[in-house]
Structure 1
Amino acid sequence: MDFREERFKHVRSSESIGPWPFITRTVYKFEDSSVDIWSSRHARKNLILPETLGDEAKTLRGRQLWAPATLNWWIGIIFALGASLFVTASVLTLLPNELETVGLSATQVNAVYFAGSIPFTLAAYLQLYQSNHSQPAQGEGKKTDRPTIFLGWKPANIGWISCLLQFLGTVLFNVNTFDAMIPSLNWFQQDLFVWVPNFVGSVFFLASGYLAFAEVAHAYWSWNTSNLSWWVVFVNLLGCLFFMASALCAFITPGPVNETAVTLATLFTLVGAVGFFVGAVLSLPEASQTAS
């Protein structure tokens, strides 16, 4: 039994909040009048709560954008890489004259989308892996002898569900961006092999983004612009919304191609990817608050 386990035997009272049916924040009050706070996102990502930083804040600010020893930093960097490739492919698609100038075909641009989907999947899996080892709300403490869990099961944990849905969404984006490189697909094949995984993956992304937002908000909705984690999940949620809008516009119908819908789908993908890139960059200073 470690100190933390022994300490939680002396809890006098606790107050929990969160969007039903989840608990995302608990404040424990002990018999010695001290207080301990558990927050779902911070426990999942092993982050130090801002209100408990104290004198550590100055040290952490010194490594805001360079913390390669932390998994959170790598997750942010890899997400930023995937998003930047999606941005690049979207811009090239929206500028056909420049695309012709650099000598790239539509299939090659689709390959850039596919290349971008791979870092998305890797970063999403790292988040899922991380969430499998998140610290419980009470009692067990930070044990170093816990088994490694590659595929866990925590359906009562809002953060874990969010990570799982995001990972599944990225896998479907792998499928749809790969299938988009197949030449000479008719409208039905494009809907079946490209649009369906795109749409379902976007639904998963939107659900994941909202759950991550609710995890930080500790409610169904909040407006907390002074909180860095809030900005990370809020911008990501906006990115998810634009990906969803892109998928809705990308549905193919028989007959002539609807150029307006195609342009809107690409534009929404671009804005969604920018949202994810900004969220990934904002997560880097958050990563500097990783506990040692």
Structure 2
Amino acid sequence: MSDGGGGGERRRLLLSDASFAVGSVCFAFAALPSVAVALGAIVTNVVFVVGSVFFTLGAGLALGVPNRSSSIIQFVGTLFFNASTTIALAAAVPAGAAGGTGWRPDAYGSICFLVSSLIAVAAVARQRGSRRDGAGAVLNLLGSVLFGFAAVGAFELPGTDALLSVFWTGVGTVGGAVCFLTAAVIGLLPAPRPLALRTK
């Protein structure tokens, strides 16, 4: 989710960012309470599953580019999201279209995204990457933090069906997805030309 070096690497990153953009739109859309009410739990969770597949596709395309450890951890995180969204869909199906609730970020996937984002931010700072790389890395980190808040908020209080924080569950999921979407869009923008070329 940042600038690449060669042409092939750049194309991979563009496809990765496009996939993350689609996945982020799916997550942000499906996490809106009004959407769950209008579409029902089954369709809402199908959207989450589709979004998680695009996340995994994007992370797979970015494996080893540009930071190997960060991209591997991110890919593992998307697999956790694949599993948790599928479980949420499977739980919603028996209850019917009006039963159950939408997916909420799970702790394992959120932790992977947070660790991956921290590594990426540190790598950009160490390598003195471009402002665009820095902005994308920070936005991904913010999105990961918000997904983490959503995962904590989604913790069910012992002996009840009540969530620890309905507010942070919703805001964290939508806000995190919007941050990921913005970072992906930044990555899709044409790379700025060097100053020397712009002044010719």
The TM-score normalised by the length of structure 1 is 0.56
1:213 match = 121
- Higher helix content, 1 or 2: 2
Which of 30, 47, 50 is 1:112 aligned to?
A: 47
Could you tell me which of 242, 255, 260 is aligned with 2:146? 242
Q: How does 1:251-270 map to 2 (within 5 A)?
A: 251-258=155-162, 261-270=165-174
Percent identity, aligned pairs only, is 31
Task: Note if 1:73 corresponds to 2:14.
Answer: yes
Residue ranges of structure 1 left out of the alignment (5+ in a row) = 1-40, 49-68, 135-158, 186-193
Name the structure where strand makes up a greater proportion of residues.
Answer: 1
> Secondary structure in 1 aligned to 2:189?
helix
Distance in 1, matches of 2:110 and 2:191, equals 26
Corresponding residue for residue 183 of structure 1: 91
3-state SS, counterpart of residue 155 of structure 2: coil
What is the alpha-carbon root mean square deviation over aligned residues? 3.1
Equivalent residues, number: 183
Match of residue 5, structure 2, among 30, 42, 46: 46
Kindly indicate whether the alpha-carbon contact (under 8 Å) linking 2:154 and 2:163 is maintained by their aligned counterparts in 1: no
> Distance in 2 between the 1:166 and 1:277 partners?
16
Displaced runs of 4 or more, over 2 A: 182-185, 253-260, 285-289
**Which residue pairs with 2:30 in the alignment?**
89
Please give the per-residue CA displacement for 1:197-242, whole angstroms capped at 9, x wherever unaligned.
82011111000001011110118xx9x9x71110010111100000
In structure 2, distance between residues paired with 1:268 and 1:182: 23
Deviation at 1:170, TM superposition (A): 0.2
Question: Partners of 1:118 and 1:74 in 2: how far apart?
Answer: 14
Report the structure number with the largest CA radius of gyration.
1
